[in-house]
Amino acid sequence: MISWLTLEALADLVIALVMSYFLNRRRTGFQQTDTVLRKLTVYSINTGLLTSALALVVMFFFAFYGFHFIHLMFFLPLGGVYTASLLANLHSRSSLWGELQPGENTNVNLLSPVVREIHP
């Protein structure tokens, strides 16, 4: 169990670092796009660090206390943290996509009648 949790934490860190590396390589020089890429990098690092830190906490409690079930206090929420971090990452991508869309922030009621027919 100790090696499994250590490899789990290592895999989370590697995924976060690889994602940040590839997101940094995709920078374009446009301020709006680079801002979104920076935010995605921060989100991926934060979620990777959170899940790996919780896996290491479970590993240390299991290593120090063994089968006294104290590690279950942190082990049971671990699956929920993975699910929440995945959903938070997906939600951040969908919300940041709106920052890249030029027409999403305009008020449709103030536009001409022709535009209102296109965008109800």
CB–CB of 34/27 below 8 Å?
yes
Instruction: Give me the chain's average pLDDT, please.
Output: 83
pLDDT exceeds cutoff 90 at 67: no
pTM over 0.75: no
- The residues, ordered by sequence, that sit 6+ positions from 57 with a Cβ below 8 Å of its Cβ are 74
- Per-position DSSP letters for 8-24, written without gaps between them: HHHHHHHHHHHHHHHHH
What's the pLDDT tens digit per position in 52-62?
A: 999 999 999 88
In the chain, what is the straight-line distance between the N-terminal and C-terminal CA atoms, in Å? 56
State the residue for tokens 């942190």: 74
DSSP secondary structure code for residue 67 in this structure: S
Can you read off the two tokens belonging to residue 62?
């299991």
Query: Residue 108 has what pLDDT?
Result: 41
Name the residue ranges covered by the structural domains of the chain: 2-118
Per-residue confidence band for 103, with pLDDT thresholds at 50, 70 and 90 = low
Q: How much is the average pLDDT of 80-101?
A: 86
Q: Give per-residue pLDDT as tens, 36-46.
A: 899 999 999 99
Average pLDDT over residues 85-114: 68
